[in-house]
């Protein structure tokens, strides 16, 4: 599975190789209830074929019409505003008076997009800057913690796996979870010290390590943009990870298991390893939102949904409040 950015990038590179003309559009800034966040991409071919989205369908038709009639310019990048007035927002269908400021590149540098794709394939973070005053785009390395910025003339966007997911256990749930997380731009490490499980791991683009969970996690140098998931069902392995993860700055820690096993795990961590109540509250277990999941792909959906909710600070109802 690919992220939206990779789909857009692949379409642009394919059209460039075919000698087709295309434009690249990036959301630079939003006001109000805009459907797509800053940094979202859209690429449009000269015949109106489009990949990606900058508004969830609200303004794409207008941009496509401009492309077909040749009014998106020839070479130099420029900014384009939508929904600045209430009347325009209503006409375009932007919800709640939302507004968008876009940066349009009528002829992006194909060689630079190829270089960006190469950096992403190697798991690198890349920073791309479009300077409207000079009419050029530049590409270079980014650092973790770099963020998108727009001052009205220069747009800086960050591309690559800005979020990281550390999974212990190379079982079926991990197989589906890893693919779903890739679509959300996670860089994924699978830790599986049991050779009989890791031998058949087959998710391209992920990194498989055979070290013990605590050592592999510490080597990762986790930060607040990391999530940690224990999926082995083996207390010896899962607990090794939790001992380090629950006292780290990661934004999410989850462990698979029934309510009974989760209760035993919390008691074990509290009694033998002196974890406080506050530290144990960071542990999501039984893991995932309570959506009635049973099969490995369903459980993976529940886990990625809970990770996403925590990542965005969304309120999660207590399990006792979940529908029966």
pLDDT score at 134? 94
pLDDT, averaged across the chain: 88
Q: Is the pLDDT of residue 33 over 80?
A: no
Residues 51 and 112 grouped into a single domain: yes
Stretch 260-282: mean pLDDT, rounded?
91
Structure tokens at 96: 């709640």
Residues 133 and 116 grouped into a single domain: yes
Residues 301 and 205 grouped into a single domain: yes
pLDDT digits (tens, 9 = 90+) for 182-212: 988 898 999 999 988 878 898 998 999 999 9
Residues 167 and 306 grouped into a single domain: yes
Q: Is the pLDDT of residue 96 over 70?
A: no
Overall number of domains in the chain: 2
Residues 127 and 201 grouped into a single domain: no
Residues 204 and 264 grouped into a single domain: yes
Stretch 114-123: mean pLDDT, rounded?
88
Residues 147 and 183 grouped into a single domain: no
Alpha-carbon dihedral angle through residues 240, 206, 249, 303, given to the nearest 10 degrees: -80
pLDDT score at 324? 31
Structure tokens at 24: 């690249």
Residues 6+ apart with CB under 8 A from 151: none
pLDDT score at 94? 56
Residue 179: CATH number of its domain: 3.40.50.720
Residues 219 and 239 grouped into a single domain: yes
Q: Which domain holds residue 64?
A: 4-157
Residues 208 and 133 grouped into a single domain: no
pLDDT score at 128? 96
Measured distance CA(313)–CA(309) in Å, rounded: 6
């Amino acid at each position: 599975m690919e992220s939206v950015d990779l789909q857009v990038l692949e379409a642009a590179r394919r059209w460039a190789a075919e000698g087709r003309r295309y434009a690249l559009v990036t959301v630079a800034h939003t006001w109000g209830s805009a459907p797509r966040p800053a940094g979202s991409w859209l690429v449009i071919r000269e015949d109106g074929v489009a990949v990606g989205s900058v508004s969830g369908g609200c303004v794409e038709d207008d941009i496509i019409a401009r492309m077909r009639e040749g009014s998106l310019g020839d070479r130099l990048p420029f900014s384009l505003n939508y929904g600045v007035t209430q009347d325009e927002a209503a006409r375009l269908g932007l919800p709640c008076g939302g507004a968008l400021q876009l940066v349009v590149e009528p002829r992006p540098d194909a060689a630079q997009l190829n270089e960006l794709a190469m950096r992403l394939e190697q798991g690198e973070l890349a920073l791309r800057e479009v300077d409207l005053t000079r009419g050029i785009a530049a590409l270079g390395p980014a650092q973790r913690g770099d963020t998108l910025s727009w001052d009205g003339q220069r747009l800086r966007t960050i591309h690559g796996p800005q979020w990281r997911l550390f999974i212990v256990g190379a079982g079926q749930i991990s197989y589906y979870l890893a693919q779903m997380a890739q679509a959300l731009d996670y860089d994924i490490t699978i830790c599986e010290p049991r050779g009989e499980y890791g031998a058949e791991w087959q998710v391209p683009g992920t990194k498989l390590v055979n070290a013990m969970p605590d050592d592999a996690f510490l080597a990762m140098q986790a930060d607040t943009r990391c999530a940690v998931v224990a999926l082995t069902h083996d207390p010896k392995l899962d607990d090794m990870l939790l001992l380090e993860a629950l006292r780290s700055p990661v934004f999410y820690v989850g462990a698979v298991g029934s309510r009974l096993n989760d209760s035993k795990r919390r008691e074990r961590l509290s009694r033998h390893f002196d974890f406080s109540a506050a530290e144990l509250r960071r542990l999501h277990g039984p893991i995932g939102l309570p959506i009635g999941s049973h099969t490995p792909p369903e459980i993976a959906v529940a886990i990625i949904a809970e990770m996403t909710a925590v990542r965005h600070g969304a309120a999660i109802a207590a399990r006792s409040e979940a529908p029966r």
